Amino acid sequence: MVNEIQVKSVLNEHKRRDDWFLDDYSINPYKGFSFNCIYCYIRGSKYGEDMERVLSAKVNLPEVLEKQISSRARKRVWYNLRSSLNGALHKHRGEIHVREN
């Protein structure tokens, strides 16, 4: 089962630009996943608890993301939409539209 949650923030700021993904921020539309891979980078973070049991879709992501990106529009930063998804989340497919001003 997938829970729907409201979030205050969707951008995860990195302490330094990621050498592999070359991004300053990551965006993950979901919290948790059922793969439960032993090598997952999330395990060591504060979000690593119950990640295999509790799956949540961030349903207000488009609105929050637009607000957060517009406040950083003048800076040259890079975003990466992470895809730590699994089959249980297929019901929550959708599109994210980001306007260029």
Task: Indicate whether 98 belongs to any domain.
Answer: no
- Residue 86 within any structural domain of the chain: yes
Its domain, for residue 50, covers: 2-92
User: Is 26 inside a domain boundary?
Assistant: yes
* Three-class SS state of 71: helix
User: Residue 80 pairs with which residues in a beta bridge?
Assistant: 26
pTM: 0.60
* Contact between 50 and 32 (Cβ < 8 Å): yes
Within a domain: 84: yes
Beta bridge partners of 97: none
Q: Is residue 63 one of the residues assigned to a domain? A: yes
At 34-92, the pLDDT tens digits run: 666 666 666 666 665 666 667 788 899 999 988 988 887 777 776 766 655 444 444 44
Query: What's the confidence (pLDDT) of residue 63?
Result: 93
Average pLDDT of span 4-32:
82
**101 inside domain:** no
98 vs 63, more confident: 63
